[in-house]
Structure 1
Amino acid sequence: MDLESLVNAHQQQFSQTEREILAFMLNNEQFVADSTITSLAHRTFTSTSSIIRLTKKLGFTGFAELKYFVKNSLAEAAPVNTDFIASGARDINKTLSDLTQRDLTEVVEKIHRARTVYCFGTGYAQRNAVQEFAKSMVACGKFTHVIPAKNEFIGSVQAMGEQDVVILVSLSGSTESVMETVRTLSLRKVPMIAITGAGINPMSHLADFSLHYETTPTRLPGHKTPYHSFVALTVLLDYLTRQYIKFLEEGNS
């Protein structure tokens, strides 16, 4: 558990002043981990007694225990990628290298034979990527439908059949909020192509075909959650599009 989760678990207990202190703390966790109680009181325009009362509401014996908790939470966060620029090139090159060693004939044939190609991305960046991929497929004469959100994905299952194909784009391949729907598609024998970050995951395990892209995480200043670039995902989808165009140029119909 991190500080944000802890605050959310106790959010009904705080006064307006305590909420303002917490807002500062959540936006400046490194400062909290390094500061004294007097420094924190000064930065939040409050008193040390206010800070102590707040720490006890959070379940700590005092400010020292809170500091220790925040420091450990930050240490467990995603590491800073000290070679961030070069890692982007490595992600692209590794993704392309893996793709060029695979025979994608069955994948593009499955797309070509499908009555409808359904595309679903589990996150904002993934949905943007599949939007561009879908435009390319439509330009190639392939009827493609992008599912815009999770609820629509769940609601579309009844319309999907064995003559369709569903392209799932995810980072982890284990987004629990959609896995029940993925399992349902598998039981209904709806063909699926999973495109996920590298590694074995539940989504790729259930899919008929699995493709992977590289993305080296880093931690941005002031953030604990990792930042992922999806440039290699875009490269993968572009490569798949080019393979499909090549398939058509070779006279397949």
Structure 2
Amino acid sequence: MDLQTLVNKHQSHFSETEREILSFMLQHEEFVAEATISSLSNRTFTSTSSIIRLTKKLGFSGFAELKYFVKTSLSQLVPQNSDFVQSGRDDVFNTLETLENTDVERILKVIHDARTVYCFGTGYAQRNAIQEFAKAMLVCGKFMHVIPARNEFAGSLSVMSPQDVVIVVSLSGNTASVLDTIKLLSVRKIPMIAITAEGVNVIASHPTYNLHYHSTPTRLKQNSKPYHSFIGLNILLDYLVRKYIGFIDQEEIS
């Protein structure tokens, strides 16, 4: 078991502050494995008591035990997936299976009825995917405004209203640089659809609606950081377009 899996098991029990600590920890596991509790509290701008409470919720007796767990799990990382092609097939199948068990119709209605649909991707690949999605939706008669960068995302808040909807696409759902903007969307009651990979999800704790895709991390011998394929994300967005076509056809009939 690794830290990601452990957090997934306890996800519903965390406070907002604890989710932000976990967001940092999951992105900096090598640091956590060697850190002191004071250095971690400084990096996360929280108190040591908050970190101690979090370690208890994760099932550890203290921070030292958590550090040992993280260090051990990092040392046991498999350098490569046994079958790259099969993991891609699994991502496609599991993404579609998740979507088939999700109430997509209400999300389609929110998109259809929105005054303006704003779209934002937290990374380069996510932005490319959302741009192609917006092009496809334009063919269906629905214009979407793609926000190109983080600063523009924060700056667009002043023109957004509860009659709009914001679609945010992320991999981990732990992108700290946009969390403040996402919290403000929630405070202002602006509907938001978060599209993230399965797993612990700080971003997904704030929006009105959530959609998930699968992205199996592939560890390469020459790189300590895993490679993530976005085939699941593209499948999800294509699925939404196809379902939207059926949705508007049904609207015209009724």
Q: TM-score, normalised by structure 1?
A: 0.69
CA deviation after TM superposition for structure 1 residue 78, in Å: 6.9
CA deviation after TM superposition for structure 1 residue 73, in Å: 11
Partner residue in 2 for 1:49:
none
One-letter amino acid matched to 1:160:
M
Alpha-carbon separation, structure 1, partners of 2:251 and 2:154:
36
Alpha-carbon separation, structure 1, partners of 2:73 and 2:89:
30
Alpha-carbon separation, structure 2, partners of 1:77 and 1:136:
39
Contact preservation (8 Å) 1:2, 1:73? no
Alpha-carbon separation, structure 1, partners of 2:206 and 2:73:
34
Unaligned runs of 5+ in 2: 1-28, 32-71
Alpha-carbon separation, structure 2, partners of 1:164 and 1:179:
19
Partner residue in 2 for 1:216:
216
One-letter amino acid matched to 1:88:
G
Contact preservation (8 Å) 1:78, 1:218? no
CA deviation after TM superposition for structure 1 residue 204, in Å: 1.2
Alpha-carbon separation, structure 2, partners of 1:179 and 1:2:
23
Alpha-carbon separation, structure 2, partners of 1:78 and 1:192:
36
Bigger radius of gyration: 1
Partner residue in 2 for 1:113:
113
Alpha-carbon separation, structure 2, partners of 1:200 and 1:219:
19
Matched, 1:231 2:228: no
Contact preservation (8 Å) 1:121, 1:130? yes
* Root mean square deviation, CA, Å: 2.3
Contact preservation (8 Å) 2:204, 2:210? yes
Q: How does 1:78-89 map to 2 (within 5 A)?
A: 79-89=79-89
Partner residue in 2 for 1:138:
138
- 3-state SS of 2:251 partner: coil
CA deviation after TM superposition for structure 1 residue 163, in Å: 0.7
Alpha-carbon separation, structure 1, partners of 2:75 and 2:114:
48
Alpha-carbon separation, structure 1, partners of 2:232 and 2:105:
21
Partner residue in 2 for 1:102:
102
Partner residue in 1 for 2:171:
171
Aligned structure 1 segments of 4 or more residues deviating by more than 3 angstroms:
72-79
Q: How many residue pairs align between the two structures? A: 187
Matched, 1:128 2:128: yes
Partner residue in 2 for 1:159:
159
Residues 108 and 73 from structure 1, CA distance in 2 versus in 1: closer, same or farther, beyond 3 angstroms? closer
One-letter amino acid matched to 1:248:
I
Residues 74 and 98 from structure 1, CA distance in 2 versus in 1: closer, same or farther, beyond 3 angstroms? closer
CA deviation after TM superposition for structure 1 residue 98, in Å: 1.1
Q: Describe the superposition over 1:67-113 as per-residue Cα deviations: whole angstroms up to 9, x where unpaired.
A: xxxxx998476742122110000010000011112221110000000
Residues 175 and 77 from structure 1, CA distance in 2 versus in 1: closer, same or farther, beyond 3 angstroms? farther
One-letter amino acid matched to 2:118:
Y
Partner residue in 2 for 1:190:
190
One-letter amino acid matched to 1:92:
V
Contact preservation (8 Å) 2:166, 2:191? yes
One-letter amino acid matched to 1:94:
N
Contact preservation (8 Å) 1:77, 1:224? no
Alpha-carbon separation, structure 1, partners of 2:160 and 2:223:
40
Partner residue in 2 for 1:18:
none
Q: How does 1:9-158 map to 2 (within 5 A)?
A: 75=75, 79-158=79-158
Contact preservation (8 Å) 2:216, 2:229? yes
Q: Describe the superposition over 1:170-190 as per-residue Cα deviations: whole angstroms up to 9, x where unpaired.
A: 011111100000000000001
One-letter amino acid matched to 2:195:
I
Q: TM-score, normalised by structure 2?
A: 0.69
